[in-house]
Amino acid sequence: MAVELNLLTVLPGFPGGGPRVAWWRGGAQRRAWLLASLAPSTAFQAVPSPANAGEDKLMPSLPPIRPEDEVLAKERRGAGTFDAPAAEGPDPSLFEYALRLGDDSLILGQRLSEWTGHAPSVEVDLSLANMALDLIGQATHFLNYAGEVEGKARDGDALAFHRDVLDFRNCMLVEQPNGDFAQTMARQFLFSTWQKMLFQHLTGSTDTFIASVAAKAVKEVTYHQELAQEWVIRLGDGTDESRRRMQDGLEWNWRFVPELFEMDELAIEAASRGVAPDLTAFRGDYELAVRSVIEEAALDLPQSQRPILGGRRGHHSEHLGHLLCTMQFLPAPIRMRHGSLGPEARRGGASLVGACKRSGS
């Protein structure tokens, strides 16, 4: 992207003192990943780093990068991402990681389904609904799995309908409003291009469930990517009006792209376990793919924008709350009856799930 990921200045208390420093010291590999994710893009022009972004100033407690670390980092980027030995012991990050996957698909599926009955033609209605159905299917798999991993009797429905904004883990791109058809296609193109590459990598996950869902979903997402790409090209290179709208759509969504490649602690942990890929491994491919479509569409590469981050830690845009108001409309009164603020409701115990099901189905 034409932006530089600058996590260190964005994320509060990162890295903090205390035990976290020790954690960081413990993994040269992790550090290499983080640095790789921060490296300015080569495919797009990068903005100059702020003067204080030097690693030494921000991470004074860490030793300087050794040449062998750099070699390791470079090798990793080229050599694939699933060669890391599986770490031992239970994986506290798996629940959160499955939520990220599930919430991305759920929120985008919800957004796309808003088009139903209102698309530019009946055929396009069918296309958009097909994509939404694929995404809701993926969400169901990932969220049910997250519930299973968590082991607190929450299933996919409990997670979808009984969490509040702060507990959603989707990236902010997918919660962006549909806008016009161009803005919807811009969002779809930017997301599906990423999701396709992610799922391709996830087919080799050490987590066999995630790998198997990814293997199924990568076919769906490949189709989404192609469809969105075709529309970006047609609208970009169509009429003056469609070009303006397409450009506006890209500009709107652009600031949320860096979040897709953010290697925060959890992503690093998941990568170190071989559950998830190192996102930086395909960032270059992503940028090339996006840029080539933007060129073919005769659109301008958007100017660099400051990355907006936070979705992965529950700090979302204003739009998500409204989306949840709609999506959780029915289960919500049930939640109120059971006392939404009580510990039982927050835990989302079996009685709550049952109540939701009774009201729903």
Partner 1 sequence: MPDAYRRTLTRQMSQHAHSEIVGMLPEGNWIGRAPSLRRKAILLAKVQDEAGHGLYLYSAAETLGTSREEMIEALHSGKAKYSTIFNYPTVTWADIGAIGWLVDGAAIMNQVPLQRTSYGPYARAMVRVCKEESFHQRQGYEIMMHLCSGTHEQKRMAQDAFNRWWWPSLMMFGPPDENSPNTAQSMRWRIKRETNDELRQKFVDITVPQAEAIGLTIPDPALAWNEAKGGYDFGEIDWEEFYAVVRGEGPVAKERMKARRDAWEQNAWVREAADAYAAKRAEKRRAA
Partner 2 sequence: MPKDWPLWEVFVRSKGGLSHRHVGSVHAPDPEIALRHARDTYTRRMEGVSLWVVPSASIIASDPSEDAAMFDPAEDKIYRHPTFYNIPDHIKHI
Shortest gap between Cβ of 266 and partner 1 (angstroms)?
Answer: 24
CA atoms within 13 A on the CB side of 232: 34
Does 318 participate in binding partner 2 (rule CB under 8 A)?
A: no
Distance of CA 124 to the CA centre of its chain: 25
Q: Which of 52, 121, 208, 361 binds partner 2 (CB under 8 A)?
A: 121
| Closer to partner 1 by Cβ: residue 23 or 329 | 329
350 binds, among partner 1, partner 2, none (CB under 5 to 8 A by kind): none
| Closer to partner 2 by Cβ: residue 128 or 323 | 128
CA distances, 48 to each of 6, 53, 62, 74, 286 (Å): 11, 10, 24, 22, 21
Shortest gap between Cβ of 191 and partner 1 (angstroms)?
Answer: 19
Shortest gap between Cβ of 118 and partner 1 (angstroms)?
Answer: 4
Return residues touching partner 1 (CB under 8 A). Answer: 106, 110, 113-114, 116-126, 129-130, 132-133, 136-137, 139-140, 143, 156-157, 160-161, 181-182, 233-235, 237-239, 241-242, 245, 326-327, 329-331, 356-361
List CB contacts of 9: < 8 A, sequence separation 6 or more: 50, 52, 53, 58
Q: CA-to-CA distance for 324 and 157, rounded, in angstroms?
A: 13
- Binding region for partner 2 (CB under 8 A) out of 12-20, 116-124, 297-305, 337-345: 116-124
| Closer to partner 1 by Cβ: residue 72 or 119 | 119
Contact set for partner 2, span 189-248 (CB under 8 A): 227, 230, 234
227 binds, among partner 2, partner 1, none (CB under 5 to 8 A by kind): partner 2
Alpha-helical runs (H) found in the chain: 7-10, 19-25, 28-38, 55-58, 67-79, 93-113, 122-150, 156-161, 172-175, 181-202, 208-236, 240-254, 257-260, 265-272, 283-296, 318-327, 331-337, 343-347, 350-360
> Where on the chain is the footprint of partner 2 (CB under 8 A)?
121, 123-124, 126-127, 130, 227, 230, 234
